[in-house]
Chains A and B, each alone.
Chain A
Amino acid sequence: MRVENVVKKFGPFTALDGVDLDIAPGEVHALLGDNGAGKSTLIKIMSGVHQPTSGSIYVDDKKVFFRNPRDAAAAGIGTVYQDLAINQLMSVTRNFFMGRELTSTFGLLRMDEMDKIAHEEMKKIGIDFSDPSQAVGTMSGGQRQTLAIARAIYFGAKVLILDEPTSALGQKQQMEVLKTIKRVRARGDIAIVFITHNEIHSKLIADRYTFLALGKIIGAGTKNELAGGDIRRLMAGGAEMADLEQELSAI
C-alpha cells in the first residue's frame, strides 16, 4: 500500500499537507508524532473514514478511492481503533464474528464452527482460550487487543492499522500486544502500521519509521538509518531534548 502526496483540509484548517507513506508486507511501519500531528487523520484516510482533499492511495500499485470504511475493508485494510469495536457483555466468539456471523438456513448460527475458528485464530497469534463463550468483559486489555487483531486478520486484512494499541495498558500487557504484533509480522504477508507515542515500543518492533509534525513528514527511514537520538528528537516534533532541558531549567 502506498500513500502519495495526500492533502486533507477541514475548511480552513490543513490537517495533512502532502504526506507520503510506503507500506510493505511483513514490515512493521511505525507512525509517530505528537498529539495533533495528523496521525489520526492519516489513518482515517487510509481506512476510508475520511476522503483526501487531494493526493492518491495505491494498493498493489493500483490506484484506489475509498468512499467509506466498507470499501477500505474490501481492499484488505483492517483498522483496529483504540476502542477496539468490541462489546463487553458478549462472548469472545460472538465478538469475533460480530456482524459477519456464519449462518445456515433461517439465520441459524453455526456456533460450534464459530467457536472453533475463533479459538484457532486467536491461538495463532498468542492467546489460548479454554472457553470461547466467556464474556469479553472478563478479558484483560491486551487480550481484547489480540481479539480485535485476530478478527481483522481473519476477515482478510492485508494491511493492519493499529491505532495506539499499547496506550492505556499496563506494562506487562503492553509487552503481550508487542508480542502479538511480532507474530503477525512473522507471517510475512501482512503489512502493519503501528501508531504510537511510545519511543521504546517503536524501537522494539518497528522496521521503518515515519514522523509527522503539524501535518507534514519531518523524517522517515528504516531502523538502521535512524539513530536513537534522531528518533527521540523527531518524536518531540523536531525539538532537541537538550534545548528542552535548558528551557525547563530556566523556569
Chain B
Amino acid sequence: MTDRSESDRLQQESWIQRTVRRPEIGAFVVMLIIIVALAMASDGKSFNALGLKNNVAIIAQLGIIATGAALLMIAGEFDLSIGPMIAFAGMSIAVMLKWGLPFGLGEATPLLAFLITLVMTLAFGWLIGTIVVKSGLSSFIVTLAFWFFLRGLTEVCFRLINQNTNVSGLPDFKKESWFAEQMGGEVFSWFFDAWYWIGTKASAGLEFTSDMTKSEKIDFINYLSFLNINRKMEQWVTGFDARLLWFIIIAGAAWYVLARTQLGSWIYATGDNKESARANGVPVNRVKVGLFMFSAFCATIFATCQVFDTNSSDAAKGMFKELEAIAIAVVGGILMTGGFGTIIGVVFGAITFGLVANAVFFIPWIDGAWFRVFVGTVLLLAVFANERIRKRITGGI
C-alpha cells in the first residue's frame, strides 16, 4: 500500500486560481466590459454626475428585486409574481394615499399606507410559499397563477376605487413625511457635494463668454457636467435616489445571512437536496415560505420607492420585472437548480443589467430594444457557464 490518499488528488490552488474559479468571476468580467464599452460609446456621458445618478437608480431598483429572487432560487424555487406584486403594492399605497384608509378609518400617512400594504404583500408571499410547500407543485406554475391573479386584482382595484388604471398627481409627501423622504428622496448627498466642491476648484475662473462658438459652448457644458456643475454655474446633482440605500441594506443583509449565518446554511441545504436537508433536521418548508415572503418584501420596497419618487402609480408597473430579476440572478452565477451562488455575483449582475437598460439614454443612435437582445444572449451564455461550474463541483455528474 502507498500512503497516497484520495484527498491528495485534489490539487491545492493558489489564491489567483481560486479567484479565477469563483462563481462570480463571469459576472464580474461582463460588468467590467459593459462599464468600459458604455463609457466609450457615450463619450463618458453615462458616468458624469447625472449619468451616474440615473444609472445607480436603475441598478438599485433591479438589484433590490434580484436579491429576493436570488435567495429564493438558491433555495430551489422561482417567483414569477414579483412584477405583479410591485404593481399591487404600488396600487395599494397610492390608492390609500389618495382615498384614505380602508373602511373609512381616515387619512393615510405614507408610513401607515406602506405598513398596511406590507402586511398584505407578506400575506401573499406566505400564501404562495405555503401552497408550494404543501402541494409539492412546481413554484413555476403556482407563481404563474399568482402573476395573473395579482395583475388582474391590481387593475380591478384601481378601477373600482379610482375609476382609472392609475393614480397620478399625488401631493409630494417627501416634504412633510420623513418616511416618504427615506423611500423616494435622496441619499448620500455628501458624495455630490464633495464632487461639486472639487468641480468649483477645477473650474475656477472659467465662465461662458459671448465670443464662444456654439460647439465651444457645448464642449464647455460637457466639461462642466463632469464637474457636477450646471450651465448656471450652480451645483447640478444633489444626491443619489434613496433606493440606493435600500439596495445596500437589502443586499448587505442578504450577503451576511447567506455567507455567515445558520439560516444561510439552511438556504443552501434546502436548494441543494431538500430530502437530505430535511433528514438532517433543516426546517425546509419554513425556509422556503420565509423566502417567498422576503421576495414579496423586496417587491414592496421597490414599489414604495417608485410611488414616493414619482408621486404616482399605475397598473402596468413592474412589467417584466420578475423575468429581469431571474435573469440577473442567473447572470450573477445562481444555479437554476438551486443550492449554489452568492449575493456578490447578483450585485455584479444588477450593475451590468442596469447599465445596459439605461444605455439608450446616453447613446442616442442605439435602439432601446437591443437591451433585450443583449439580455437574451448574456442569459444563455451565463446558463452554460453556470452549468460548467456545477459539473466541476459535482465531479461531472
Q: Is the interface of B mostly helix, strand, loop or mixed?
A: helix
B397 CB, nearest partner CB in chain A, Å:
7
Interface string of A19-48 (1 = CB under 8 A from B): 000000000000000000000000000000
* A99 touches which of B12, B266, B273, B395 (Cβ 8 Å): B266
B280-A127 in contact (CB<8A): no
B390 x A87 contact (CB < 8 A): no
B residues 235-290 near A (Cβ < 8 Å) are: 260-266, 268-269, 272-273, 275-277, 279-282
Indicate if the CB atoms of A88 and B269 lie closer than 8 Å.
no
Q: Which residue of B lies closest to A172 (CB)?
A: B6
Let me know if A87 and B6 touch, CB within 8 A. Answer: no
CA distance A69 to B279 in the complex (A): 9
Residues of A within 8 A of B340 (CB): 89
Main SS at interface, chain A? loop
Nearest chain B CB to A66 CB, angstrom units: 15
Cα A129 to Cα B9 in complex, Å, equals 11
A204 in contact (CB, < 8 A): no
Q: Which residues of B contact A137 (CB under 8 A)?
A: 393-395, 397
Given contact pairs A94-B265, A109-B260, A138-B395, A87 touches B12 in the complex (Cβ within 8 A)? no
Q: Among A88, A108, A176, which residue has its beta carbon within 8 angstroms of that of B394?
A: A88
Contact pick for B268, options A87, A134, A143, CB 8 Å: A87
Find out whether the CB atom of B261 lies under 8 angstroms from the CB atom of A87: no
Question: In this complex, which of B266, B273, B276, B339 has the most chain A Cβ atoms within 10 angstroms of its Cβ?
Answer: B276
Are A88 and B393 in contact, with the CB atoms below 8 A?
yes
Judged by a CB distance under 8 angstroms, whether B7 is at the interface is yes
Q: Of residues 115 to 169 in B, which have CB atoms within 8 Å of A's CB atoms?
A: none
**Residues 68-112 (chain A) with a chain B CB within 8 angstroms:** 69-70, 81, 83-90, 94, 97-101, 103, 106-109, 111
For residue B10, CB closer than 8 A to chain A, the reply is: yes
Contacts of B10 in A (CB 8 A): 130-131, 134, 138
Q: Does B215 touch A at the CB level, under 8 Å? A: no
Check: A189 CB closer than 8 A to any chain B CB.
Answer: no
Chain A residues whose C-beta falls within 8 Å of the C-beta of B394 in the assembled complex:
88-89, 135, 137
Complex interface bits, A113-150 against B, C-beta within 8 A gives 1, otherwise 0: 00000000000000111110011011110110000000
Q: Determine the distance from Cα of A194 to Cα of B261 in the docked complex, in whole angstroms.
A: 36
Contact in complex: B272, A87 (CB < 8 Å): yes
Chain B residues with CB below 8 A from A89, complex form: 268, 272, 335, 339-340, 390, 393-394
B269 touching A99 by the CB < 8 A rule? yes
Most buried by A among B5, B265, B282: B265
**Which of B269, B273, B393 contacts A138, CB < 8 Å?**
B393
Residue of B261, B268, B281, B390 near A100 (CB, 8 A) is B281
Chain B residues with CB under 8 Å of A81's CB are 279
Most chain A beta carbons < 10 A, residue from B10, B12, B262, B340: B262
Known contacts A87-B269, A99-B269, A109-B260; A129 and B7 CB within 8 A of each other: yes
B339 contacts across to A, CB distance below 8 A: 87, 89-90
User: Within 8 Å CB of A103, what residues of B?
Assistant: 261-262
Asked if A87 meets B5 with Cβ closer than 8 Å, knowing A137-B393, A137-B397, A138-B395, the reply is: no
Chain A: CB-nearest residue to B391: A137
Complex CA gap A131/B11 in Å reads: 11
Closest to A139 in B: B6
Q: Give the distance in Å from the alpha carbon of A86 to the alpha carbon of B269 in the complex.
A: 9
- The residue of chain A having its C-beta at the shortest distance from the C-beta of B284 within the complex is A99
Q: Knowing A98-B282, A99-B269, say if A86 contacts B262 (CB, 8 Å).
A: no
Interface size class of B (residues with CB under 8 A): 20 to 34
| Residues in chain A near residue B279, CB distance under 8 A | 69, 81, 85
Query: Of all chain A residues, which has the CB nearest B74?
Result: A89
User: Knowing A88-B272, A99-B269 touch, does A142 contact B6 (C-beta < 8 A)?
Assistant: yes
Q: B7 contacts A101, CB within 8 Å?
A: no
In whole angstroms, how far apart are the Cα atoms of A27 and B333 in the complex? 48
**Min C-beta distance of A160 to chain B, whole Å:** 16
Query: Given the complex of chains A and B, what is the CA–CA distance between A97 and B266 in angstroms?
Result: 10
Point out the residues of chain B lying under 8 angstroms from A86, CB to CB: 273, 276
Query: Please, what's the 1-or-0 string for A51-76, where 1 marks a CB less than 8 Å from any CB in chain B?
Result: 00000000000000000011000000
Nearest Cβ distance between residue A104 and chain B, in whole angstroms?
A: 10
B280, A109: Cβ atoms closer than 8 Å: no
Query: Closest residue of chain A to B6, judged by CB?
Result: A140
Q: A89-B268, A90-B272 are in contact. Are A101 and B6 (CB under 8 A)?
A: no
Contacts of B282 in A (CB 8 A): 98-99
CB neighbours (8 Å) of A98 from chain B are 265, 269, 276-277, 280-282
Known: A99-B266, A130-B7, A130-B12. A87 touches B276 (CB 8 A): yes
Chain A residues lying within 8 Å of B280, measured Cβ to Cβ, are 85, 98-100
**What residue of chain B has the Cβ atom nearest to residue A151's Cβ?**
B280
User: Which residues 352-397 of B have a CB within 8 angstroms of A?
Assistant: 390, 393-395, 397
Q: Is the CB of A83 within 8 A of B393?
A: no
Q: Is the CB of A101 within 8 A of B262?
A: yes
Please give, as numbers and ranges, the residues of chain B lying within 8 Å of A134 by CB-CB distance.
10
On chain A, the residues within 8 Å of B262 by CB distance are 101, 103, 107-109
Closest to B266 in A: A99
Of all chain A residues, the one with the shortest Cβ separation from B268 is: A90
How far is A111 from B262 in the complex, measured between Cα atoms in Å?
10
Given A99-B277, A99-B282, A128-B7; A109-B395 close (CB under 8 Å): no
A residues whose Cβ falls under 8 Å from a Cβ of B: 69-70, 81, 83-90, 94, 97-101, 103, 106-109, 111, 127-131, 134-135, 137-140, 142-143, 176
Residue pairs across A and B with Cβ atoms less than 8 A apart, 21 shown, are: A84-B276, A87-B268, A87-B272, A87-B276, A87-B277, A87-B339, A88-B272, A88-B393, A89-B340, A90-B272, A97-B265, A98-B269, A99-B280, A99-B281, A103-B261, A106-B261, A128-B5, A130-B7, A130-B10, A138-B393, A143-B6
Which residues of chain B have a CB within 8 Å of any CB of chain A? 5-7, 10, 12, 260-266, 268-269, 272-273, 275-277, 279-282, 335, 339-340, 390, 393-395, 397
